[in-house]
Structure 1
């Protein structure tokens, strides 16, 4: 199943005998900032509407299990899906504020990509939240809140800071961007991330 996932996002398989020290800048990863964060963190830029992001989620879940000490973050981009992009970006932020992201993200991906039920508005998003245990008043209290507006502004700044133009895009420690098409397999994906989490 994982091999199919990587094939779906246009990766090809190569031998996995290279040592971690052989991962090269400009090949498996690109340096996008001069200074790396001191935090062991991986940031995934994604969109609920992105089919590659949907297929990529099992690998991200496995990554969390492999590097439990690392902080795994998601940043929803607003530029995919035309007018739907900002709606889905806001939906993710609302789920974070309501502390239901772990529950609602799989639901949103499933509805859009498996059930083909794409929410067309904030009201549609609200229906999904309420159907999955979120109180309607709680949803209304956050969806246009100052806190959520601030989160959206931060998401947009991060998207612009790293010049994100496609998804999924992974940034490790704020310095290294994975070159997904050069990694080749799920095993190398995990090993490249682990290498960059400890890189100088």
Structure 2
């Protein structure tokens, strides 16, 4: 996609939704991190339901550790892979206390050292909590990047690198939110609703459903 088309692409998404937000509920940087860890292979809606009561009683690493593994499991057992996720939440809470003064680190290098935190999770936290221009490539962004021609790549990392180069700086903070929402609600996997897409004329997808 040409630079002018990329700029127009994000200009339109910005015009429709100037301040997009993630759909995970959280109350601070720590609960954001926990929510994103829990969201792997799970829906945001399911995670929000599970964490509604959890975050009322455990909104700091200290409170999460005090809750203990069984207590965490009791709250997140409706989420897929809850046993391993609960262990990661407990372990990352302990690590935040021991190595980071109970604060969520602001670098990808430190974040990915935490249990259950991969590059995608780190990018989400860096973007939402600290306003960094990162791109958390999930299945939606991977699909949109390839379908539209915006950032084609065979792996999430390849798509991420293309986005880093392609996205104009003024749209860098919100770009990954716009792309997630576009993929989740319009550019769907099985049947994209191209007729509702604000950037359909810029898209290079050959099998458009118009």
What range describes the TM-score normalised by the shorter chain of this pair? 0.3 to 0.5
- Higher relative contact order at CA 8 Å, sep ≥6: structure 1 or structure 2? 1
- Say which one has the larger Rg: 2
Structure (1/2) with the larger helix percentage: 2
Normalised by the size of structure 2, how large is the TM-score?
Answer: 0.33
